[in-house]
Structure 1
């Protein structure tokens, strides 16, 4: 971190403090009070904390606040002067994170602070409005009253907010994802039914398609299949009006996986996969096309069509290895995800040992918080491969970690796959390790 960057961080901390009307000692008292409120009292004097605050703001050699103080500052600045939670762009909390970054804090730690405060916001009954800065909240209220005032700035803020919620998947339960999304889903519905400026309609439809798709997934994960189907229908309609077929392909793929686990048979889900492949091939995102071909391979393998599955996998790898410069969705699918699809294909129509290795490679690479749900699914499939390799106890050991991950997020797909794996282990139901696994499942997932 450059010396200039550190000075910018120090100046930002000072500006935040002064904007709250705090002297150095006043800021120290606020920190001490917040620590006590959180049940983490600081065993130090006001004078000691005051000196620490001064070192953060020094114009000569500012220092980065330690982890504990970062947490306390995050809780302080996450609330506005009137006590409302505000975490979005332009908020004091966002400025705090920017200051900490200038002072040398890494992205992972800043992400952890943000996730923690999002959890706190939803614990307190807050929703997506907490992820919108004060000016954006005002702008959204104004536009809902007069849709003709919609502008690019508000669309960008809404897009970022939905992306922010999407980033919480794997870190917060899906019921909280629903809570966060509800205001923007309703806002999109109202605006799409209103007379917004015509040039901005595709942008609004893109935001709506993303919000509805994520909300449909969350509704499915919380076992509200009727709401899920309705949201996916809205997402498909919104994406269809944008003029970018890859966006509708993304909706179809998410809908296909949900349908696979909520509708008997695979025919309905297969139709969605076929539609996704058609749209992906007509679209400009090579990454989305790779994902569509990977999903096509999984469904072919589930149907026992080995040649079709291998052909689709080859197309997926061809797409993944292609030049993706300028791809509108470059991070939506990765080689680690594709390894998981290779594993599923091998599990159904190939060698379980090969499947196990593919799953292991995929799980090892899926480390981001956003990928926690997918990693639990991949690891559960890896356990299935171990069962087929006649290593049931080793499979059970792996499943314990999958249960913990599924219980954190409330993921329905992971839970379904876990129960199937448990069923495959029934021949060993008299073993002590099977009883331990059963107890863990019941304690964590209720079944």
Structure 2
């Protein structure tokens, strides 16, 4: 960070303080009270904390607040002057995070603070409104009363909420994410029923398709299959109306994955994957085409059709290695994800040792918070490969970490995979390490 950046951060902190009418001492007292409210009382006097506040705001040599003070400031500024939780653009919380960024805080730490604030929002029941900026909240209220008043600002705000919720998969339990997303889904439904401006309809349909698809996934993860099917049906309709077929391919793939784990057999999932491949081939995203071919390979492998699985994998790698500059789906599917599909293919119709290595490489690369659910699934499959390589104790050791990850998010797919791995370990059920694994499963997942 440059000196100028640090001064911008200091000035932002000072502006936040002035906006609340606080002196340095007032801010110090507010920080101390917040620490007590959170059960983390500060062993420091008002004068001591006041000096810290002054250093953060210094016009000569500003310093970054320590992590403990960052946490307290985040809680302090998460509530607006009206007492409501407010985290969206233009809120004090958003301004605080910007200030910390200018003062040199890492994106990883800022992301942790954002996740903590979203957890606070769901604790208080604030939900989506906490993620909307003040002007966007007013704009959404006006548009819901009269869809003809929908504007780009409201669409951008809804799009941002969907993006924020999607980014928190793996960081927050699925039930909390549902609480944040449900109002967006309802808002999209109501807006689509009204006469929105023609020029904004494609954008609204795109946001709706994204919200419904994510909602279908969350409903599945929380074991509400009826709601999940209804949301995927709505997402398919909305995505089909957008005009770019790769959007609908995304819906089909997400729907296929949840169908694979909620419907016996693979026939229903196969139909959705075939539809996804057709749309992806006719769409404008190479990334989505690669993902569709990878999923097609998994389905073929689960059927035991090795040649078809290998052909689909080859097509997926061909797509992955193509020029993806300007791809509308960005980097939503990576080589690390594809290696996981290679592992699945080898597990079902190939060599277990090869599958293990693919899974290990994939798990090692899936490090982002958003990828932790997928990482737990891949690591569980890696444990299955170890079982087939006659390394059951080593597999059990790997599964302990997978249980911890699954219990954090409440993920259904990871839980299903874990139970399957436990079943395959039953020949060693008299071993003490199997009993330890069983206890861990029961304590964390209830089964």
Same fold (TM over 0.5): yes
By how many angstroms is 1:395 displaced?
Answer: 0.4
Greater mean alpha carbon deviation, residues 197-206 or residues 324-333 = 324-333
Aligned to 1:370: 370
CA distance in 2, matches of 1:178, 1:397: 32
Which residues in structure 2 correspond to 1:34-433 (within 5 Å)?
34-433=34-433
Aligned to 1:10: 10
CA distance in 2, matches of 1:124, 1:404: 26
TM-score, with length taken from structure 1: 0.99
Tell me if the contact between 2:161 and 2:181 (Cα under 8 Å) persists in the aligned partners: no
CA distance in 2, matches of 1:328, 1:90: 28
By how many angstroms is 1:112 displaced?
Answer: 0.3
By how many angstroms is 1:126 displaced?
Answer: 2.2
CA distance in 2, matches of 1:303, 1:381: 17
- Could you list the structure 1 runs, at least 4 aligned residues long, displaced by more than 4 angstroms after superposition: none
Tell me if the contact between 2:172 and 2:409 (Cα under 8 Å) persists in the aligned partners: yes
CA distance in 2, matches of 1:313, 1:89: 42
Aligned-pair Cα RMSD in Å: 0.7
CA distance in 1, matches of 2:123, 2:331: 30
CA distance in 2, matches of 1:331, 1:164: 17
By how many angstroms is 1:146 displaced?
Answer: 1.2
Q: Unpaired runs of 5+ in structure 2?
A: none
CA distance in 2, matches of 1:114, 1:291: 29
By how many angstroms is 1:331 displaced?
Answer: 2.1
Cα deviation, 1:375-396, whole Å, max 9, x if unaligned, reads 0100000000000000001000
By how many angstroms is 1:332 displaced?
Answer: 1.1
CA distance in 2, matches of 1:45, 1:446: 46
By how many angstroms is 1:121 displaced?
Answer: 1.3
CA distance in 1, matches of 2:426, 2:50: 62
Look up the SS of the partner of 1:241 in the other structure.
Answer: helix
Greater mean alpha carbon deviation, residues 434-443 or residues 229-238 = 434-443
By how many angstroms is 1:138 displaced?
Answer: 1.1
By how many angstroms is 1:223 displaced?
Answer: 0.6
Look up the SS of the partner of 2:242 in the other structure.
Answer: coil
Q: Unpaired runs of 5+ in structure 1?
A: none
CA distance in 2, matches of 1:101, 1:260: 42
CA distance in 2, matches of 1:429, 1:244: 52
By how many angstroms is 1:336 displaced?
Answer: 0.6
CA distance in 2, matches of 1:247, 1:406: 29
CA distance in 1, matches of 2:179, 2:222: 12
Aligned to 1:446: 446
Aligned to 1:20: 20
